């Protein structure tokens, strides 16, 4: 207590006397779009000579925002106005545009054939003998993405001398899913309220929407679903469609299309119908009319994202119809307008299955080939629910005729909310790199979703957003990295997570090499630390009920067994783990034979997935030589220690980071360490009641009794 | 629609190309504590020669923040560092402190006897022949208030040459009431979530709490009740008390004491008791222990704010005890620690009264003299509920032995939420200036609450806060003025509302005289416009059910008649208005005889209160010569027109205001005009069904049918 008070006073004084103006200055609002003056004189000089003015021929809202971003960015980075001129007259021009609109670029006879609508070319050229740089694309959206790429080069201190970059996105739909309700509550949101101020829309358009669009465009994100997948039919009423249209107007210049979630029973709730049966003619007519209405307000409306027959949501199965019949109903409605339907595969029927992990596969594989062309099925990375670690979802590769869209969770529902530092790109990467056939060089999940394996007509990746009204957007500074990494991977699923971390750190904090080495290391080990202190060795779904904050391995009872923890860990005095081999639920059989074979073999399965697929005795010998119980305690402990090391590392990085962002991160790491220990201690105390074994020598026993941990209550944890 | 889209694009381009760095810059976060360089060269020169350095002897957390604020403020205003020195060595010293800690000030033999603990002296003096300025006080808190006053002099362009200011607050408790829930929802809040991030407290202390404290201290606000009066017992659990203590630690240097709301049934809900009877010995012991626990964590805890036996809240009447017995229970618990209890008089019993307006008076006057010395009774300005206009509450003056604390509502629950511009100081002033005996020079409500009339032992004023996580704190820029005005009036209830507006405008926007004249005019007429378009001529409580957004004069039925609109307007084909004279509820009899006599006389009553007290025929002749129905239509229309004039005025003020704040205000005024028309049209359409009279010539009929207005639904209006 005493120490706490002192530190508060220190903070007060420090902030007030140090700050030149507002006490809150470096608050993270600018995200990675910080255009501060290049701090290394040699780089600054080199950049200043490379770019002295802008030339932009042609005009469109998208080209206008691209040029404005370059003006703003270059003026900041180069600490001086970078003027816009009509023609190339001297060295240092940055020429942007499309050959269609720019005679200058057209005259260069560029080969842009491989770039599609959204790709771009950045190249160092000579114009009339003068060195210049061009950002060229087939469409204005490509120019915009190229502009952000160019700014990133300066932000990350890349040389501009011999540029010849060609980039095009691997996936067509790069999309955020906001789980935002109309009352501004964000389900599983830990960064304040929804940024959509529905009440004041469409009359008041918050300038923050523009910065949201800028941030997404800088990553290539080109779609956003505004509303919670646990959908509200009111979203589709005229009053709310006008509000969505106002947002779409802001996003359009940034090449971002708006999607809405569709509540399947909307025809009954906001229409006059007494059924929502997808084969009913009136229902079909209602959705056709509704689509017509939407497109009259939002001509580039993306389409519907649908969660149906899952966790109590209505759906086609309520009428004995299949998911395909439900999806096709909506697909037919938006098809005349060029829209699409994204149908979520995160489903489970009302009856308890023998294994929830099997259900999406079981329901969707038989439907392969039955969906309309403009339907994609959106699949979570794993078959349970965004756990710190899951094996890749068995649906990937199992639907050659149905384009699958990846669904990652950017918000950290199960990874410590906003305060825990967990860089998720390694988690995303682990899934994307998984070999679906088990062959060492065989196709990966990335090959499935980018369409290369099955020749999908459409491709995409969705991330459940971690964005809210918090000043720093994502609840913590390091959570911005997860938004960033998602966007970069949606553009190119082959990108390396470490490289993304480096890039983000440079743009967000510092280009100092010492800082980068240490901070990247901290980020790259962070998710594994969370796995260790929450769910080591393949354990999963052990969180407290409802809010998912803190440990709850003892959770049992309630409406359904597969919403409890005991269902998943299956601890007994004999052992622990979920037997998903032939002797158990046989979920392994949903994978390709070689994958199944490895997962089913307790000796060959990657040890980090051990208890996901196997129920093993407490004295099972793990690869470390430790018995299973001892290994669990070891890993829990290792996770806590890793957070301690992150804290130490971060303390040492104070010279490289402004005081305000450094302090918040340091304080959050302190919370993380406290809560990591809570997870460890509560888990050990609980599982010890089954293992009946002592905490091995050299490891601390839990600080409190199991009853203490079970007594803790957090009725107002956010995001519930 | 088309125009809307164009304006969005204009905004996008304007914001991006104009801003040098973040698109969102002038966002209002700094409130009235803007320390921008003084823009008039002559003033700047005069200030620079008057203040060249700071001298601060002695040290304490409060003195430290006072000095830091002066350093920050003067450095900004004078555009140069103002150093802190040990001694007066040359001209231009600003010497701050108390004679106890400062030998320099002690040597001046100042008479500070009239200043109390919180007052201060600002005086131009000579020290060793050198011109200097002193800010002296008996206590450090007075120095802090003096520092803010001094900065305000520069911010508002006052001369510093012959300063001799002595100020002391008229009221002891100057307090914000936050109606903030533990889940961060703010009841009747229209500015985002609660700024209290309970989930992360006490480990993460948001720097914004410091700016909150600075803003309040700059006004002299010295107390804050953190939690909703619809209280949650969990507030008083150890986990949450630690969180409140962390906030108290931040606020302490700023002379702000923390209060908490106490749920009367807490001993049953978080204790082990099966009663909350105030006369039960275990209950008394429980509260004594709880107070002990609180004070061990928060040594300067202010005390409890209690809403009991009102709107379903538990209270002493549940056990057949009086409000006094309930209040005294808690008062005895905090008394040993110097704490107090603030007991709200906003009560009504479960049975429907003949007139809700009478209930607080009826319940509390008989209890006068029965409360402990450390109890204050907090009374809303009017007897219904923060309507755009109410007559002053009849309790003021009726309890000579019970100190009454004023409760104003700063948040605009009934005045258009965050988007309508309604400057509330004239409303506050109207109540404070009301003559309680009806004598032209007789005592006012202000004389009651400042204790001068009855010699109250304690005095105070509370305002229901309009503060949230919105970047601009209050939901709109002009709503900041209501926080400001409340604070200034709590310090000195005799202040003039126009002077406060001028002061706030200077500090927040501009010192330009043309701007000030027009903007002050706009503010000063704004609340009357709201009265006109919502509730003219003394009508009241006509809003939609639940959320209180928009018109609902047709609201009837439901759990209680006194929660409907028809209960209050009593419109019939014969007439309209609530007869509160002898022939009706006789609420007039609760006022002093001369006041009652005027209110009861339809010819002498101020016309703006006419229908509050009288039920009158539609053809009643008003002072304008118009019949009542026509006069209503006239006033509704006048209100809408007034908003149109405000819009025009504001457009003309663009040269004086940054683009970002100008635009938001302009957009909000457009919303206000649209909604003012909605209020007018819906009200006329509804009342016309009773009056059966045409809309008089020259006035527009309602745009839509009554059915249309009744069909509108706003299930997600904020603040509910």
- Our CA-based measurement puts residue A654 at a distance from the nearest CA of chain B, in whole angstroms, of 18
Q: What is the pLDDT of residue A685?
A: 98
pLDDT at B167 over 90: yes
- Pairwise CA distance, residues A603 & A617, whole Å: 14
Residue A78 CA neighbour count, 13 Å, CB half: 22
Residue-wise DSSP of A364-404: HGGGTT-S-TTEEEEEESSSSSS-SS-PPPTTTTS-TTS-E
Q: Percent of chain B beyond pLDDT 90?
A: 93
Q: Percent of chain B beyond pLDDT 70?
A: 96
Secondary structure of A511-528 as H, E, C letters:
CCHHHHHHHHHHHHHHHH
Other CB atoms within a 10 A radius of the CB of residue A1 amount to: 12
Q: Do the beta carbons of residue B429 and residue B485 sit within 8 Å?
A: no
Name every chain A residue with its beta carbon within 8 A of the beta carbon of B31: none
- Pairwise CA distance, residues B58 & B97, whole Å: 7
Name every chain B residue with its beta carbon within 8 A of the beta carbon of A470: 469
- Our CA-based measurement puts residue A22 at a distance from the nearest CA of chain B, in whole angstroms, of 7
Q: Exactly one of B385, B641, B658, B667 is catalytic; which is it?
A: B385
- Our CA-based measurement puts residue A699 at a distance from the nearest CA of chain B, in whole angstroms, of 26
- Our CA-based measurement puts residue A701 at a distance from the nearest CA of chain B, in whole angstroms, of 24
Which of A4, A8, A208, A247 should be substituted to probe chain B, the one whose Cβ sees the most B Cβ atoms within 10 Å? A8
Interface ipTM: 0.95
Contact A12 B214 (CB under 8 A): no
Which of A204, A240, A477, A713 should be substituted to probe chain B, the one whose Cβ sees the most B Cβ atoms within 10 Å? A204
Confidence of residue A672 (pLDDT cuts 50, 70, 90): very high
**B535: DSSP letter:** S
Terminal CA-to-CA distance of chain A, rounded, Å? 30
Using CB atoms, pick whichever of A13, A76, A297 lies closest to residue B21: A76
Contact B664 A204 (CB under 8 A): yes
Contact B11 A205 (CB under 8 A): yes
Q: What is the pLDDT of residue B350?
A: 66
Contact A68 B16 (CB under 8 A): yes
Closest CA to A288 of B522, A214, A280, B426: A280
Using CB atoms, pick whichever of A24, A470, A714 lies closest to residue B207: A24
Using CA coordinates, name the residue in chain B closest to A249: B5
**A636: DSSP letter:** H
Residue-wise DSSP of A82-110: --EESS--SS-EEEEE-TTT-HHHHTTT-
Indicate if B603 belongs to the active site: no
Q: Exactly one of B413, B608, B675, B681 is catalytic; which is it?
A: B413
Mean of the per-residue pLDDT values for chain A?
A: 95
Contact B24 A207 (CB under 8 A): yes
List pLDDT tens digits, range B352-372: 678 999 999 999 999 999 999
- Pairwise CA distance, residues B658 & A454, whole Å: 55
Contact A4 B249 (CB under 8 A): yes
Does this model's pTM top 0.80? My answer is yes
Q: What is the pLDDT of residue A82?
A: 96
Name every chain B residue with its beta carbon within 8 A of the beta carbon of A192: 192-193, 469
Indicate if B385 belongs to the active site: yes
- Among A514-518, A544-548, B462-466, B470-474, name the one with the lowest average pLDDT: A544-548
Mean of the per-residue pLDDT values for chain B?
A: 95
List pLDDT tens digits, range B508-532: 999 999 999 999 999 999 999 999 9
CA distance to A664, B193, B251, B471, B483, per residue, from B468 (Å): 20, 5, 17, 8, 12
List pLDDT tens digits, range A175-202: 999 999 999 999 999 999 999 999 999 9
Name every chain A residue with its beta carbon within 8 A of the beta carbon of B717: 199
Phi, psi angle pair for B466, to nearest 5°: -115, 35
Contact A253 B9 (CB under 8 A): yes
Q: What is the pLDDT of residue A350?
A: 66
Q: Per residue in B251-263, is it b (16+ CB within 10 Å) or e — as a string? A: bbbbbbbbbbbbb
Q: What mean pLDDT comes out for the span A276-288?
A: 98
- Pairwise CA distance, residues B478 & B412, whole Å: 12
List pLDDT tens digits, range A199-246: 999 999 999 999 999 999 999 999 999 999 999 999 999 999 999 999
List pLDDT tens digits, range B578-634: 999 999 999 999 999 999 999 999 999 999 999 999 999 999 999 999 999 999 999
pLDDT at B151 over 50: yes
Q: Do the beta carbons of residue A600 and residue A588 sit within 8 Å?
A: yes
Q: What is the pLDDT of residue A58?
A: 86
**B717: DSSP letter:** -
Q: What is the pLDDT of residue A720?
A: 86
Q: In B98-216, which ranges are E strands? A: 120-127, 130-136, 164-167, 173-177
Name every chain A residue with its beta carbon within 8 A of the beta carbon of B419: 200, 204
- Pairwise CA distance, residues A464 & A178, whole Å: 6
Using CB atoms, pick whichever of A65, A208, A660 lies closest to residue B12: A65
Q: What mean pLDDT comes out for the span A378-391?
A: 98
Q: Which residues contact B673 (CB under 8 A, 6 or more apart)?
A: B640, B643, B644, B647
Name every chain A residue with its beta carbon within 8 A of the beta carbon of B214: 23
Other CB atoms within a 10 A radius of the CB of residue B111 amount to: 9
């Amino acid at each position: 207590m005493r120490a706490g008070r002192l530190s508060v006073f220190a903070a007060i004084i420090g902030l007030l006397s140090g700050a030149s103006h507002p006490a809150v200055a470096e608050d993270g609002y600018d995200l990675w779009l910080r255009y501060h003056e290049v701090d290394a004189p040699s780089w600054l000089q080199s950049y200043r000579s490379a770019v002295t003015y802008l030339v932009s021929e042609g005009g469109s809202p998208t080209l206008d925002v691209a040029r404005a971003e370059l003006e703003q960015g270059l003026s900041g980075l180069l600490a001086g106005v970078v003027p816009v001129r009509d023609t190339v007259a001297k060295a240092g021009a940055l020429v942007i545009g499309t050959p269609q609109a720019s005679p200058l670029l057209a005259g260069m006879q560029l080969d842009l054939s491989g770039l599609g609508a959204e790709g771009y070319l950045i190249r160092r050229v000579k114009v009339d003998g003068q060195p210049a740089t061009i950002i060229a694309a087939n469409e204005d959206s490509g120019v915009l993405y190229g502009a952000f790429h160019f700014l990133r080069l300066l932000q990350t201190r890349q040389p501009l001398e011999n540029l010849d970059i060609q980039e095009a996105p691997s996936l067509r739909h790069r999309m955020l899913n906001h789980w935002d309700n109309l009352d501004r509550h964000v389900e599983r949101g830990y960064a304040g309220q929804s940024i959509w101020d529905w009440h004041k829309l469409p009359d008041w358009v918050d300038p923050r929407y523009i910065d949201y669009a800028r941030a997404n465009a800088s990553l290539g994100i080109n779609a956003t679903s505004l509303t919670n997948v646990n959908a509200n039919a009111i979203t589709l009423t005229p009053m709310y469609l006008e509000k969505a249209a106002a947002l779409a107007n802001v996003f359009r210049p940034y090449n971002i299309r708006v999607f809405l979630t569709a509540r399947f029973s909307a025809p009954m709730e906001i229409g006059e119908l007494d059924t929502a049966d997808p084969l009913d003619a009136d229902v079909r007519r209602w959705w056709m009319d509704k689509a017509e209405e939407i497109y009259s307000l939002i001509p580039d409306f993306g389409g519907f994202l649908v969660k149906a027959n899952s966790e109590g949501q209505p759906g086609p199965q309520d009428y004995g119809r299949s998911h395909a019949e439900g999806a096709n109903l909506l697909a037919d409605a938006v098809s005349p307008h060029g829209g699409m339907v994204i149908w979520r595969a995160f489903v489970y029927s009302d009856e308890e299955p023998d294994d929830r992990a099997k259900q999406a596969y079981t329901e969707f594989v038989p439907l392969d080939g039955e969906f309309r062309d403009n339907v994609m099925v959106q699949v979570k990375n794993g078959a349970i629910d965004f756990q710190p670690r899951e094996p890749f979802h068995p649906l990937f590769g199992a639907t050659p005729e149905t384009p699958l869209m990846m669904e990652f969770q950017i918000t950290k529902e199960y990874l410590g909310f906003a305060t825990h530092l967990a860089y998720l790109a390694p988690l995303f990467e682990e899934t994307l790199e998984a070999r679906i056939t088990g062959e060492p060089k065989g196709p990966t999940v990335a090959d499935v979703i980018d369409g290369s394996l099955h020749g999908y007509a459409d491709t995409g990746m969705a991330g459940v957003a971690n964005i809210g009204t918090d000043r720093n957007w994502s609840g913590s500074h390091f959570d911005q990295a997860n938004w960033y990494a998602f966007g970069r991977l949606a553009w190119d699923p082959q990108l390396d997570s470490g490289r993304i971390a480096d890039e983000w750190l440079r743009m967000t904090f510092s280009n100092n090499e010492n800082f980068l080495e240490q901070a990247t290391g901290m980020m790259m080990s962070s998710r594994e630390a969370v796995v260790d202190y929450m769910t080591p060795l393949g354990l999963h779904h052990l969180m407290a009920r409802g809010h998912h904050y803190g440990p709850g391995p003892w959770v049992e009872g309630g409406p359904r067994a597969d919403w409890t923890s005991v269902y998943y860990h299956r601890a007994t005095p004999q052992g622990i783990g979920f037997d998903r081999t032939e002797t158990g639920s046989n979920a392994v059989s949903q994978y390709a034979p070689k994958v199944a074979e490895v997962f089913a073999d307790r000796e060959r399965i990657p040890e980090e997935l051990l208890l996901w697929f196997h129920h093993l005795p407490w004295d099972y010998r793990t690869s470390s030589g430790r018995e299973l119980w001892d290994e669990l305690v070891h890993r829990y402990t290792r996770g806590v220690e890793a957070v301690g090391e992150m804290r130490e590392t971060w303390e040492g990085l104070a010279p490289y980071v402004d005081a305000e962002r450094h302090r918040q991160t340091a304080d959050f790491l302190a919370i993380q360490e406290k809560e990591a220990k809570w997870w460890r201690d509560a888990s050990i105390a609980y599982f010890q009641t089954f293992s009946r074994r002592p905490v091995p020598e050299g490891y601390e026993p839990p600080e409190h009794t199991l009853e203490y941990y079970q007594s803790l209550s957090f009725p107002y944890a956010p995001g519930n």
